[in-house]
Amino acid sequence: MSIVTSIKKGTVGTPELQRFLNAIGQLSVVLSAGGNGLKCVAVPETGKFLYVEAEAAAAGTMKRTIHYEIQDTDDVVQTWYNGVGTITPAENCTDTEVGVPVVTGGNTIQFTDGVAEVEFAMDTDANATKGYDSSDDVTLTMAIPAVAGITVTVTNAVHTFSSEQAPLLWSYLDGTKDKTLTPSAAQANVAGAASMREYVELRLVNSLGEVQTWFTGHCHITATETCNDAQIGVPSLFDQDGAALTNATGVLPITAGVAKFSFAYDTDGDATKHYIATDFVTLTPSMDAIGGEAVTITDATVVATFAA
- Both 172 and 289 in a single domain? yes
The answer to whether residues 174 and 187 belong to one domain is yes
Strand partners, 39: 71, 153
Please tell me the distance from the alpha carbon of residue 258 to that of residue 59, in angstroms, as a whole number. Answer: 24
3 vs 13, which has greater pLDDT? 13
Q: Which residue has the higher pLDDT, 74 or 118?
A: 118
pTM over 0.95? The answer is no
Specify the CATH number for the domain of residue 240.
2.60.40.10
Which residues, 6+ apart, have CB-to-CB distance to 6 below 8 Å?
none
Domain match, 131 and 266 both: no
Backbone angles phi, psi at 3, to 5 degrees: -60, -40
Is 252 found in the same domain as 143? no
Task: Verify that 52 and 116 share a domain, yes or no.
Answer: yes
Decide if pLDDT at 2 tops 60. no
> Phi then psi for 31, rounded to 5 degrees?
-80, -15
**Residues 179, 301 within the same domain:** yes
What's the confidence (pLDDT) of residue 9?
58
140 and 203 inside one domain:
no
| Residue at which a domain ends, from 110, 143, 164 | 164
* Gap between the Cα atoms of 23 and 3, Å rounded: 12
Final residue before a domain boundary, out of 164, 184, 216: 164
Question: Are 186 and 149 contained in the same domain?
Answer: no
One domain for residues 180 and 301? yes
Contact 58, 121 (CB under 8 A): no
Among 141, 164, 187, the domain-final residue is 164
Domain that residue 87 falls in: 3-27+36-164
Rounded to an integer, the average pLDDT of 301-308 is 97
Q: Look at residue 4 in the predicted model and tell me its pLDDT.
A: 44
- Our CA angle for 195, 196, 197, nearest 5°, is 105
Give residue-wise pLDDT tens across range 70-116: 999 889 999 999 999 999 999 999 999 999 999 999 999 999 999 99
Q: Check whether residue 151 and residue 9 sit in a common domain.
A: yes
- Give how many domains the chain has, as a whole number: 2
Cβ neighbors of 38 (< 8 A, separation 6 or more) are 30, 70, 71, 72, 78, 144, 147, 150, 151, 152, 153
Confidence of residue 31 (pLDDT cuts 50, 70, 90): low
Q: How far apart are CA 227 and CA 224, in angstroms?
A: 10
Residues 112 and 195 in one domain: no
Residue 23 shares a structural domain with residue 158: yes
Place 15 in a pLDDT band, splitting at 50, 70 and 90.
Answer: low
